[in-house]
Amino acid sequence: MKTIQDPNLIAHYITQFNLNQVFTTSKHALIQLRVYEQNEIILHEGDELDGIYFQVEGRTKVSSSVGTGKSLLLRFCSPLSLFGDIEFVQEVVVQSQVEAVQQTTLLFIPKQKVESDLMDNHSFKDLLLKHLSYKLLTCTSASRTNLLGAVEERLASYLLTIQLQREFGKEIQTPYIPDIASLIGTTPRHLNRVIQRLTDMEILYKVKQEIVVLDWERLDEMSNGIRFE
């Protein structure tokens, strides 16, 4: 992580995401600009919360650990997203791991500054409420998918969420199969069987570290409209 001292860029993001009512000019000094590289952890589950994060560039992945020590995918996030709001309101440690999927820029406000300078701002409280309710919606959807959906549905939802463009034959760089299996709540052996079954159906195929989707429409039908975002 690196911190950038650039008041003009901070002001640009505040204007871009209509945060002027939350961060008036006098409040700009509260804000740090932080940049995280791909695969860098932004928030570690179980750590003490240090502040509120506003994602203004890039893409992040939010996951939560389960009793076996594995991770379960909750959602992918794009701008504008908030992190630390649940923990701040509930006064608990960080509940989920947040990882940068690509280079990601965030506005960061230290916890003590939030408490002393922002909690009397109705626009800030309205923003917290908006994002908290959105997380309730997405977590409910993710939980339903992870608990009730077949592995085929979960894999389809995962692939459709991470795709960059809807292009026939688009190749998707994929991490180690056990990582995907852990994220969607299955075993590597079962996931490999599912990939082979979808290969036999000519929906996709896997070559080394790439999954190539041949039929996005059938994959979309298989996902039942569920997305991890």
The phi and psi torsions of 27 (rounded to 5 degrees) equal -95, -5
What was the pLDDT predicted at 57? 96
What was the pLDDT predicted at 166? 41
What was the pLDDT predicted at 176? 67
Beta bridge partners of 207: 210
Query: How far apart, in whole angstroms, are the C-alpha atoms of residue 47 and residue 204?
Result: 39
What was the pLDDT predicted at 165? 40
Handedness of CA 162, 163, 165, 171 (dihedral sign): positive
pLDDT surpasses 50 at 169: no
What was the pLDDT predicted at 24? 86
What was the pLDDT predicted at 16? 96
DSSP assignment of 89-146? HHT----SEEEESS-EEEEEEEHHHIIIIITT-HHHHHHHHHHHHHHHHHHHHHHHHH
The residues, any chain, with a CB within 8 Å of residue 205's CB and separated by 6 or more, are 199, 211, 212, 214
What was the pLDDT predicted at 170? 42
Out of 85-89, 105-109, 124-128, the most confident range is: 105-109
What was the pLDDT predicted at 174? 55
Structure token pair of residue 13: 């993001």
Answer with the residue of higher pLDDT: 95 or 145: 95
Structure token pair of residue 161: 């969420």
* Residue with tokens 């928030």, as numbered in its chain: 43
Alpha carbon 192 to its chain's center? 25
Numbered ranges of CATH 1.10.10.10 in the chain: 149-223
Query: How far apart, in whole angstroms, are the C-alpha atoms of residue 3 and residue 31?
Result: 11
Q: Mean of the pLDDT values across residues 31-60?
A: 96
The CATH number of domain 149-223, selected from 1.10.357.10, 3.30.1380.10, 3.50.50.60, 1.10.10.10: 1.10.10.10
Numbered ranges of CATH 2.60.120.10 in the chain: 2-147
DSSP 61: E
What was the pLDDT predicted at 7? 92
Answer with the residue of higher pLDDT: 158 or 88: 88
Q: Mean of the pLDDT values across residues 14-42?
A: 92
Share above pLDDT 90 across residues of the chain, in percent, rounded to a whole number = 46
Q: Mean of the pLDDT values across residues 184-192?
A: 84
pLDDT surpasses 90 at 63: no
Answer with the residue of higher pLDDT: 193 or 186: 193
On whether the CB atoms of residues 172 and 159 are closer than 8 A, the answer is yes
Fold entry, domain 2-147: Jelly Rolls (2.60.120)
Region of poorest pLDDT, from 55-64, 91-100, 178-187, 194-203: 178-187
